[in-house]
């Protein structure tokens, strides 16, 4: 009786990662991978690694159309040996992506970003306990003991790539002022920030000059989704 060597997930994943790397050498472009360690300007740090990579809106990588600007979820083709949720990928032509999810044997899920954001609030707002990057309690830091909000002028996280767009149907917010127009609502998708998470009432400023106020936050191990408003009086 002949005993065949066992094949486990680690072995299969190693072969899958090598296959993606070989395909990316043909189809991809030089890409810089960043693994943030702080809260400020993660793309200004020294790159964690340089890889060949390409991104597509189709997990089968048919390359039939570009990634749509209002549907930023896409899939990455590159060596998946060393990749984590929250890693940033900067390409010369396709833009800046952040990694949201990685499962063995499958393409990387990522978000194509369209803005660099700075998030401001009261000092200390959004700080997380050591080892917690998800911010599982979304209301923590929203109000202090005096009932004031966490909005403020202190920059808490600076220069982060994010996607900002319309959140979909069914979202409407009133400003509270008589005769004013409803506040325009937007959705921001933000990568994991080490030791920190966004909170309601914080202010978001973009490199393109827009300013938003966060009204709600949903956080997970894959990143943050923030519902935001612009007041139109």
What DSSP character marks residue 121? E
Q: What's the structural domain count of the chain?
A: 2
What is the chain's mean pLDDT, rounded? Answer: 83
Q: 86 is written with which tokens?
A: 């929250």
Q: Are 70 and 163 in contact (CB under 8 A)?
A: no
Q: What is the pLDDT of residue 214?
A: 96
pLDDT grade for 182, boundaries at 50, 70 and 90: low
Q: Are 15 and 106 members of one domain?
A: yes
To which H or E segment does residue 15 belong? Answer: helix 9-27
Q: What is the pLDDT of residue 140?
A: 38
Task: Give the domain-ending residue among 112, 131, 164.
Answer: 112
Condensed to tens digits (0 to 9), the pLDDT of residues 46-91 reads 999 999 999 999 888 888 888 888 899 999 999 888 999 999 999 9
Q: What is the pLDDT of residue 127?
A: 93
Residue 1 domain-assigned (yes or no): no
β-strands 203-206, 184-190: how paired? unpaired
To which H or E segment does residue 21 belong? Answer: helix 9-27
Q: What is the pTM of this model?
A: 0.81
Task: Give the domain-ending residue among 112, 132, 153.
Answer: 112
Query: What is the percent of the chain with per-residue pLDDT over 70, rounded to a whole number?
Result: 79
Q: What is the C-alpha to C-alpha distance for residues 191 and 228, in angstroms, rounded to an integer?
A: 16
Q: Are 75 and 177 members of one domain?
A: no
Phi-psi region of 201 (alpha: psi -120 to 50; beta: other; left: phi over 0): left
Q: Are 34 and 107 members of one domain?
A: yes
Cα 185 to Cα 39, 66, 164: the distances in Å are 26, 26, 10
pLDDT grade for 151, boundaries at 50, 70 and 90: low
* φ, ψ (nearest 5 deg) of residue 10: -60, -40
pLDDT grade for 154, boundaries at 50, 70 and 90: very high
Q: 83 is written with which tokens?
A: 């990749």
Q: What is the pLDDT of residue 137?
A: 42
The CATH number given to whatever domain includes residue 133 is 2.40.10
pLDDT grade for 169, boundaries at 50, 70 and 90: low
Q: Are 28 and 120 in contact (CB under 8 A)?
A: no
Domain hosting 225: range is: 115-230
Q: Are 145 and 225 in contact (CB under 8 A)?
A: no
Q: Are 128 and 224 members of one domain?
A: yes
Task: Give the domain-ending residue among 75, 97, 112.
Answer: 112
Q: What is the C-alpha to C-alpha distance for residues 181 and 185, in angstroms, rounded to an integer?
A: 12
pLDDT > 70? residue 30: yes
Q: What is the pLDDT of residue 72?
A: 93
Q: Are 104 and 173 in contact (CB under 8 A)?
A: no
Q: 209 is written with which tokens?
A: 């000059």
pLDDT > 60? residue 180: no
Q: What is the C-alpha to C-alpha distance for residues 41 and 178, in angstroms, rounded to an integer?
A: 40
pLDDT grade for 231, boundaries at 50, 70 and 90: low
Q: What is the C-alpha to C-alpha distance for residues 88 and 162, in angstroms, rounded to an integer?
A: 10
Q: Are 123 and 226 members of one domain?
A: yes
For the ranges 26-40, 109-123, 157-171, which has the lowest average pLDDT?
157-171
Condensed to tens digits (0 to 9), the pLDDT of residues 83-137 reads 999 999 999 888 999 999 988 778 899 999 999 999 999 999 999 887 566 554 4
Q: What is the C-alpha to C-alpha distance for residues 115 and 99, in angstroms, rounded to an integer?
A: 16
Q: Are 66 and 43 members of one domain?
A: yes
């Amino acid at each position: 009786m002949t005993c065949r060597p066992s094949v486990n997930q680690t072995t299969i994943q190693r072969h899958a990662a090598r296959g993606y790397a070989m395909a990316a050498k043909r189809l991809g472009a030089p890409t810089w991978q960043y693994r943030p360690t702080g809260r400020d300007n993660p793309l200004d740090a020294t790159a964690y690694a340089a890889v060949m990579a390409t991104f597509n809106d189709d997990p089968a990588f048919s390359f039939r159309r570009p990634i749509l600007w209002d549907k930023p979820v896409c899939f990455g083709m590159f060596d998946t040996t060393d990749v984590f949720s929250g890693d940033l990928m900067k390409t010369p032509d396709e833009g800046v992506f952040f990694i949201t999810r990685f499962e063995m044997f499958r393409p990387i899920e990522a978000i194509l970003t369209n803005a660099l954001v700075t998030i401001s609030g009261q000092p200390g707002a959004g700080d997380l306990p050591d080892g917690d990057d998800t911010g599982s309690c979304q209301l923590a830091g929203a109000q202090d003991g005096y009932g004031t909000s966490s909005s403020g002028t202190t920059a808490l996280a600076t220069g982060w790539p994010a996607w900002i767009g319309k959140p979909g149907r069914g979202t409407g917010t009133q400003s509270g002022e008589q005769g004013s127009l409803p506040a325009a609502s937007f959705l921001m998708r933000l990568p994991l920030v080490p030791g920190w998470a966004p909170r309601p009432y914080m202010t978001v400023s973009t490199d393109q000059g827009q300013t938003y106020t966060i009204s709600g936050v949903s956080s997970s191990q894959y990143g943050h989704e923030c519902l935001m408003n612009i007041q139109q009086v």
